[in-house]
Amino acid sequence: MNINEIAKLMVAKGKGILAADESTGTMTKRLDSVNIESNEENRLAFRHTLFTSKNFQNYISGVILYDETIRQKKNGKSIPEILREQKVLPGIKVDKGAKKLVGSDETVTEGLDGLRERLNEYYKLGARFAKWRGVYKISNEFPSNNSVVANAHALARYAALVQEAGMAPIVEPEVLMDGKHDIQKCYDVTSKVLEECMNQLRIAGIDFSGMVLKPNMILNGSESGIKNKKEQVAELTLKCVQNHLPSEIPGVAFLSGGQSEFEATENLNEINKQNKTSFAFTYSYGRALQQSALKTWAKNLKDTEAVQKVFDERSRMNSLAAKGEWKADLENAA
pLDDT, tens only, 178-221: 999 999 999 999 999 999 999 999 999 999 999 999 999 999 99
What would the mean pLDDT of 231-257 be, rounded to a whole number?
97
Out of 106, 172, 261, 313, the active site residue is 172
Taking the model in full, what pTM does it have? 0.97
**In the Cβ-directed half-sphere of 12, how many Cα atoms lie within 13 Å?**
14
Q: What is the CATH number of the domain that holds 149?
A: 3.20.20.70
Cα–Cα distance, 93 to 64 (Å, whole number): 6
Residue 178 · residue 221 · CB < 8 Å: yes
Q: CA-CA distances (angstroms) from residue 159 to 178, 243, 260? A: 27, 21, 30
Position 268: which residue type? L
Cα–Cα distance, 329 to 22 (Å, whole number): 31
- Looking at the DSSP bridge assignments, the partners of residue 131 are 93, 170
Residue 332 pLDDT: 66
Query: What's the pLDDT band for 247 if we cut at 50, 70, 90?
Result: very high
Cα–Cα distance, 213 to 172 (Å, whole number): 6
Residue 154 pLDDT: 98
Out of 214, 266, 270, 313, the active site residue is 214
| 264-273 confidence digits (pLDDT tens) | 999 999 999 9
Cα–Cα distance, 316 to 65 (Å, whole number): 21
What would the mean pLDDT of 286-305 be, rounded to a whole number?
95
User: What share of the chain in percent tops pLDDT 90?
Assistant: 98
Residue 317 · residue 265 · CB < 8 Å: yes
What would the mean pLDDT of 146-174 be, rounded to a whole number?
98
Residue 223 appears among annotated catalytic residues: no
Query: What's the pLDDT band for 177 if we cut at 50, 70, 90?
Result: very high
DSSP annotation of 35 reads T
Between β-strands 98-100 and 107-109, what pairing exists: parallel, antiparallel or unpaired? antiparallel
Residue 250 · residue 280 · CB < 8 Å: yes
Residue 74 pLDDT: 96
Number of domains comprising the chain: 1
Residue 214 appears among annotated catalytic residues: yes
Residue 333 pLDDT: 59
Residue 129 · residue 169 · CB < 8 Å: yes
Structural domain of residue 37, as residue ranges? 3-333
What would the mean pLDDT of 167-175 be, rounded to a whole number?
98
Contacts (Cβ under 8 Å, ≥6 apart) of 237: 217, 218, 254, 267, 271
DSSP string, 144-179: -HHHHHHHHHHHHHHHHHHHHTT-EEEEEEEE---S
DSSP annotation of 98 reads E
Is the model's pLDDT at 334 over the cut of 80? Answer: no
